[in-house]
Amino acid sequence: MYLDMSGNTQSKRVEKSSPDRSLVPPCQAVCPLHMDIREYVDLLAQGRTMEALHVIRNGNPFPAICAYVCTHPCEEACRRGEVDKPIAIRALKRFAVEFGGDRMMQVEARTEHCEKVAIIGSGPAGLACAYYLRKLGYPVTVFEAHSELGGMLRIGIPQYRLPREVLDTEVQRLTQMGVEIRTNTRVVSLELLFDIGYKAIFVTIGAHQSLRMGIEGEESPGVIDGATFLREVNLGLKPSLGERVGVVGGGNVAIDAARTAVRLGARSVNILYRRSRDEMPADSVEIEQAEEEGIEILFLVTPTRVKRENGQLNVTCIKMELGEPDASGRRQPVPIRDSAFSKEFDALITAIGQSPQTPEDFRLRIGRGSIIQVDPITLTTNRTGVFAGGDAVTGPATVTQALATGRLAASRIDDYLQHRYPLASSAERESPIGHLLPETIETIRKIGRLEPPTLAAEARAEDFAPVELAYDWESATNEARRCLRCGIGAEILFQDKCATCLTCIRVCPYHVPYVDASGTIQIPSDQCQACGICVAECPAKAIVLRKPHDRRHITEELDHILRSAAESKSKPVIVGFCCQYGLFGTGTLARFWRGAKAGVWIVPVLCIAKVEANHILRAFEAGAEGVFIAGCGEQCSRENTAYWVRQRVAKVRSTLEQIGLERERVQAFVLGDSSDDLVNELDRFTDQIGALYLTSVILEEVKS
Amino acid sequence: MIVAQEKPLAEIRRMIDRYERVLILGCGTCMTVCGAGGEREVSYLHEVLRVAQARGGNGTHTVSEYTVKRQCDPEFLELLVDRVGDVDAVLSLGCGIGVQAIAERFPEIPVLPGVNTSFMGMAKEQGVWDERCAACGDCRLEETAGICPITRCTKGILNGPCAGTKNGKCEANKDMDCAWVLIYQRLERQGQLEKMRRYYPPRNFRTIARPKRIVSKANIDAGGDDA
């Protein structure tokens, strides 16, 4: 028998012209590294952790570090937050790093250029720059004044937030790549570096100088600045603080210092912050965790005088109230008259900000706040061949911002050394998609956010063990499944094919498509939830999903399975389309997969709503004796998916009858549908198909 | 819009039985909208025929598929010349008009109807269509409050309701509204019940010659117009 495979010309047109038309999701748009968050979260939802880690590593030189300390602006931008709560993106990245085999990853680099590059400072910006320059093939040397690499990562961030092994692993990887490392080497002159053959220099010396409060008694013994305190602790010293510790400030350094003090044995720790909780710049989770550890935050309080008496610090404080917003947009604290009171501490840690301290001999142009002035696009300084970035340029900022600057610096230095005009990255030209409409939000299934587990508060004070723990497999999958997959929804690819039949409008569970004033159907990309129902139901086949992978996925998986089934020669063949998201997330489907008997071939699909009637028939054409579809039903993150699957099953059943096959050969299994165990139901189905197959074989023999 | 329904598979298989190379031809207008013969159905039928051959074993066909924007216009059919040249028969999923248009354009090629063209109507909801117009050529909807008794009354009577109406439903089908009760209710709401009292004489179908043709342009070349 010969059947023409080339007939389906119009569908081929879709396959051939499949550019990636997906739009930038908000998480990616705000990420300083512009990471493909949507992609790796989706891979995690499918249980493909190693691939997720690959995506993460593509966009981030040190994902393990970010997995612990990133301030996750992506979560603030996440549109899931408009529905219920944002996806726990950083915790998911942590899961990928822990379970995806990050430790096994090798990064290789070859020297392809002869121009040597010097990097002064080994903080996140310096390390990232070294990583990318090395990947581009440059010989790179990192100079570090301290005895170990990492900059603020090592001497600023406490161990309970970033375990040192994680940092060491990443540093180790740089060494493997062939980055030359010179610790205990303070650079005093840039000329010297040029003289010994470096063609470009990246200055990334950080912001280590604590700002002074400018109050009387600040120099008293027992008063220490936050940066120095954290540095001493992180380098292994154990400063004695006494029992009562005060911390001045409301940023992450203040919280870090306070929580470190708790771990050093302080009995009572008070944070004095001059504004209220809403204005506090520290991460809200960190603040919560600090309070869990018994730290008390005194809001609207500022110290005005410190006096040392009998080995104690007598700190005079004054109460504040909030006035008009200032330049930063936060409400300015105003002292309240006659509200002074005093507090007794054994030690006072000041953490009200830091600034860079650039050596005079670098002869770099310095701006307000002691920061190095650079061109924001090229990162060049006033000196030829000298680039600068990181906290030294921006003032204290986040690790992720520093990594992004490091990456940018690497490409700018590459441009400079190769005499290329620096081009703006494509990321800067993209515009992120808009907000969800209230009508859309209403129809989206609410699914609570799963927070990663944390160490019990009582257990934390004992040592510097990491406070946050990693997800287990099922929680990670379920958290990732909440992703709305912004910007990869459906679109009408061929407006000329669209018959304006309104099917998409009628089937969309989120009421997204609409008819515009000119009578054309529009599917707004910023509202579509990418469930795929309209794609399968469109009678003109005019609608496609924006991501090419989503368009081909089922056909490719099915072909692969059918080939394997044909090779195995075992009979009868039963093909099952099973939701890949449900495999790890629901538990039940996992048992379903594992519990399937021999002869059952599973085609993993990214939601059963995308399985079309044609796919089911394809399996029968290739010799399957039975086909079933198994989906998550009430546990699905999308709406109405099971309903449309049943519609298609009904259609195929009636077709099968007309061909002379039993309608029972197609079956839909949906979680929550039946009181009986799904695995038992599948067993019954398998037995039934086996019986039908036997009957047909016997009938054949009788006939012949 | 014209509404049609897929033909039973057995009938389609019988029709194509004697042809080796068959082109399944969809229509991108009414048949797409009513879900009977758009590109998705063309591709589904193609797959169904392949399964039928794989499982049934009889008959050898080379099936190809294509969908044109509208089968009932000759200009669109020019796009088919190459494709039709390669096949022994065209299985059209267009309405009866489409099938005939193709027959007219390609005199040598057998054209087979893949759907039963059923009526002119509208969608009630996703997947449900209702008949609304019989194309009688003599529209009386003004007198019947915008509800056509010819299509919506089982008996098609012009002076209703008949004695078979019960609780607003038709005696022929208890789930179906009586068209004349609907007409009455609408006329009552609009204060035009006098239209119910009027007598409508039987229609003279002899005056409606078939096949009908409408010429909406002036016959200028023949000099028969005052332009």
Q: Are residues B174 and B90 in the same domain?
A: no
- Interchain contact B32–A (C-beta under 8 A): yes
Q: Is residue B150 part of a domain?
A: yes
Can you state the angle between helices A37-45 and A89-99, rounded to 10 degrees?
A: 60
Minimal Cα distance from B83: which residue of A? A7
Residue type, A14: V
Query: What percent of chain B lies above the pLDDT cut of 90?
Result: 75
Q: Which residues of A are less than 8 Å from B57 in CB distance?
A: 1
pLDDT-wise least confident of A81-95, A556-570, B30-44: A556-570
Question: What's the CA gap between A5 and A621, in Å, rounded?
Answer: 13
Same-domain check for residues B97 and B143? no
B189 interfacial to chain A (CB closer than 8 Å): no
Is residue B82 located within the same domain as residue B157?
Answer: no
- Are residues A420 and A449 located together in one domain of the fold? no
Q: A180 pLDDT band (50/70/90 cuts)?
A: very high
Contact (CB<8Å) B9/A659: yes
Kindly report whether the peptide bond that precedes residue A239 is cis, defined as omega within 30 degrees of 0: no
Integer CA distances (angstroms), B69 to B1, B11, B101, B112, in order: 15, 26, 13, 19
Q: Mind listing the pLDDT tens digit for each residue in A223-255?
A: 999 999 999 999 888 888 889 999 999 999 999
User: pLDDT value at position B59?
Assistant: 67
**Are B115 and B9 within one domain?**
yes
Q: Do A4 and B32 touch (CB under 8 A)?
A: no
> pLDDT tens, A454-470?
888 888 877 888 888 89
* Same domain for A336 and A253: yes
The answer on B99 and B11 residing in a single domain is: yes
Select from B56, B60, B67 the Cβ nearest to the Cβ of A2: B60
Say yes or no: A150 and A237 in one domain: no
**CB-based contact (8 Å) between A540 and chain B?**
yes
A563 and A696 inside one domain: yes
Give how many domains chain B has, as a whole number.
2
- Evaluate whether residue B87 is within a structural domain: yes
The interface residues of chain B toward chain A in range 106-145, judged by CB-CB distance below 8 A, are 123, 125-126
A700/B contact by beta carbon, under 8 A: no
- List, for residues B37-94, the tens digit of each pLDDT value: 999 999 999 999 999 988 876 668 899 999 999 999 999 999 899 999 989 999 999 9
Query: Domain residues for A371?
Result: 116-207+356-429
Per-residue pLDDT for A396 more than 50? Answer: yes
Instruction: Judge whether residue A8 has pLDDT over 60.
Output: no
A5 domain residue, yes or no: no
Last residue of a domain, which of B119, B153, B169?
Answer: B119
Same domain, A524 and A576: no
* B9 within a domain of the structure (yes/no): yes
Q: Tell whether A8 is covered by a domain.
A: no
> Does the structure show a pLDDT above 50 at A12?
no
Task: Test A7 with B67 for CB contact under 8 angstroms.
Answer: no
A231 and A346 in a single domain? The answer is yes
Q: Is there a contact between A37 and A79 (Cβ–Cβ < 8 Å)?
A: no
The CATH code of the domain that includes A525 is 3.30.70.20
DSSP chain B: -EEEEEPPHHHHHHHHTT-SEEEEEEESSHHHHTTSSSHHHHHHHHHHHHHHHHHH-----EEEEEEES-TTSHHHHGGGHHHHHT-SEEEE-S-HHHHHHHHHH-TTS-EEE-EEEEEEEEEEETTEEEEEE---SS--TTTTTT--HHHHSTT--SS---TT-BTTB-SS-TTSBPHHHHHHHHHHHTT-THHHHS--PPP-GGGS-SS-----S--TTTT-S--
What CATH number is given to the structural domain containing A303? 3.50.50.60
A5 part of contact set with chain B, CB < 8 Å? no
Of A3, A539, A661, the CB nearest to B38: A539
Span A342-368, pLDDT tens digits: 999 999 999 999 999 988 889 999 988
Mean pLDDT of A468-482: 91
Tally of structural domains, chain A: 5
What gap in Å lies between CA B131 and CA B3, rounded to an integer? 8
B6 inside 8 A of chain A by CB: no
- CATH number reported for the structural domain that contains residue B76 in this entry: 3.40.50.2300
Q: Which residue, B119, B151, B179, sits at the end of a domain?
A: B119
Q: Is residue B221 part of a domain?
A: no
Task: Return the SS3 of A600.
Answer: strand
Q: How confident is the model at residue B207 (pLDDT cuts 50, 70, 90)?
A: low
Q: Is residue A652 part of a domain?
A: yes
Same-domain check for residues A96 and A60: yes
B28 and B109 inside one domain: yes
- Residue A6 domain-assigned (yes or no): no
Q: B13 and B100 in one domain?
A: yes
Sheet architecture: strand order including A626-631: A600-605, A574-579, A626-631, A666-670
Both tokens assigned to A557: 């998986």
State the Cα–Cα distance between residues B201 and A150, nearest whole angstrom: 99
Mean pLDDT over residues B194-201, rounded? Answer: 89
Judged by average pLDDT, the poorest of A155-164, B53-62, B110-119 is B53-62
Residue A40 falls within a domain, yes or no?
Answer: yes
Residues B72 and B176 in one domain: no
Q: Work out the burial of residue B107: count CB atoms within 10 Å of its CB; fewer than 13 is exposed, 13-18 middle, 19 or more buried.
A: exposed
Same domain, A213 and A302: yes
- Regarding pTM above 0.80, the answer is yes
Residues B55 and B15 reside in one and the same domain: yes
Residue B14 contacts A where some CB pair is shorter than 8 Å: no
- Reported ipTM: the value is 0.90
At which residue do the structure tokens 């748009």 appear?
Answer: A29
Q: Look at residues A386, A411, A429 and tell me which one is the last residue of a structural domain.
A: A429
Give the pLDDT of residue A423: 77
Asked if residue A498 and residue A520 are part of one domain, the reply reads: yes
CA distances from A571 to A566, A691, A693 (A): 9, 12, 9
B112 inside domain: yes
Co-location of A689 and A663 in the same domain: yes
What is the model's pLDDT at position B57? 67
pLDDT at position A568 is: 86
Residues A194 and A234 in one domain: no
Same domain, B110 and B179: no
The CATH number given to whatever domain includes residue A633 is 3.40.50
Domain of B144 in residue numbering reads as 135-203
Mean pLDDT of chain A: 90
Q: Are B7 and B100 within one domain?
A: yes
The answer to the question of residue A444 being in a domain is yes
Nearest alpha-carbon partner for A320 in A342, A302, A344, A343: A302
Residue type (1 letter), A435: H
> Same structural domain for residues B176 and B114?
no
| Mean pLDDT across A101-128 | 90
Per-residue tokens: A359: 């050596």
Q: How far apart are CA B164 and CA A554, in angstroms?
A: 54
Of A400, A429, A458, the last residue of a domain is A429
> Residue B208 domain-assigned?
no
Query: What is the phi/psi pair of residue B75, to 5°?
Result: -65, -40
Query: Do residues A459 and A501 both lie within one domain?
Result: no
